[in-house]
Amino acid sequence: MLALSPELCGRIVYYSSREDLLALCLACKAFQREAEVRLYYHIQLTDTHRALLVCNTLVRNDRLPLHVRTFCFKQDDRRAPGDLGHRFWGAVQQALIAMSNLEVLVLCDASHSNGWVLSHPEIKFSLKEAKLRLTWDAPLIKFLERQQALQTLHVYDPLEDIAHHIIPGSLPNLKVFDGTLMVGMQLIPSPLVYLQLMIDSDPAPALAALPGFGALRKSLRSLNLLEVTEDLSLPILRCVSGVLPDLRHLGILHYPMTAVRISVFFSVFPTDTNSRSQNSINISCECICLRALTSTLGIGCTHLRWCQLKRYSPLSFKFSVPVSGQFHSGLGVLAYDGCTRVPEPGITE
């Protein structure tokens, strides 16, 4: 039989589905070599039993681990909750040792007790991206300090108290970080561009720590803060705007809601101006972005006719929504006694 050139085999493999790759591996040696590269380039696993079989296969074969560039294991808590045991994580560690060309690692441990799998000195790969559901402890930090080429890091650690610290400047190429605020503070010496931080339950350390991120003013372009309580929104906004004035993106900060009554009236029958029912919503607000709030109501509630906000001195915000439901008009501010309804044009009172 006429042998195909490696270039032609590689081209055929490139346009083959994953199911066809398995068949090509059995066709001939030329196709096997090319198909294995694609089959093992990206490994994504959730089933514990299958993950164990794959890891054992990689350990027993000297050729296959060299093809792996992405290894992802996300533990399915519904099928295998808790710790998977030393035997399973030991097999994962041996597979990581064999995958010397790995560039992307996603590792999720529901028990947060097996960070030791990354501490083996024979792990030689140099990552570009890591997503780790592990405890921020000494083995994990020791592993990260060796990853000089790392550009993206996601760390999920449920612990609020961080007892271990990474050597400053250990990640000179880190551009993206997603994790807790206290871990993020340790990475300020890195040239971060995109930053997502989860605020801890105690707001005092968060407000005290945010000014330290001013050192990232030259590089940081996007900041997203998660789990921000409403009472912290304005203090955080004032702090961030002061220390990071060059930001291009700031994530969502919730309206501070503490002491205002908002009455919103909906038209159940938008085509019948004489048939209307009323429904009120009570929201407490101390200091609120009123124009933004009413704009959001007008866009999200297609039958919204008007809303009334009361806050010590009554204010009414009125806008029109056509029958088609498309929000089109600007917001007008009318001061009145809070008792007289301001009718919408064209609606019979």
The domains of the chain are located at 1-39, 44-250, 261-334
- Which of 92, 145, 101 has its CA nearest to residue 125? 101
pLDDT at position 257, please? 55
CATH 3.80.10 for domain 44-250: yes
> For position 201, what pLDDT does the model report?
63
Cα-based angle 234, 235, 238 (whole degrees, multiple of 5): 85
Written as one letter, the residue type at 327 is F
Q: Name the pTM for this structure.
A: 0.70
Q: Which residue has the higher pLDDT, 203 or 325?
A: 203
Report the percentage of the chain scoring pLDDT > 90: 40
pLDDT per position as a tens digit, 270-301? 434 344 443 444 444 444 455 555 555 555 55
Do 309 and 335 touch, CB atoms closer than 8 A? no
81 or 131, which is more confident?
Answer: 131
Phi, psi of 304 (to 5 degrees): -65, 130
Mean pLDDT of 8-37: 75
The confidence score (pLDDT) of residue 199 equals 83
Choose among 264, 256, 296, 303: nearest CA to 282.
264
Over residues 71-86, mean pLDDT: 80
Q: How far is CA 214 from CA 40, 123, 151, 221, 245, in A?
A: 43, 35, 21, 12, 9
Beta bridge partners of 313: none
Question: What's the rounded Cα separation, in Å, for the pair 39 and 34?
Answer: 9
**Looking at this protein, which amino acid is placed at residue 203?**
P
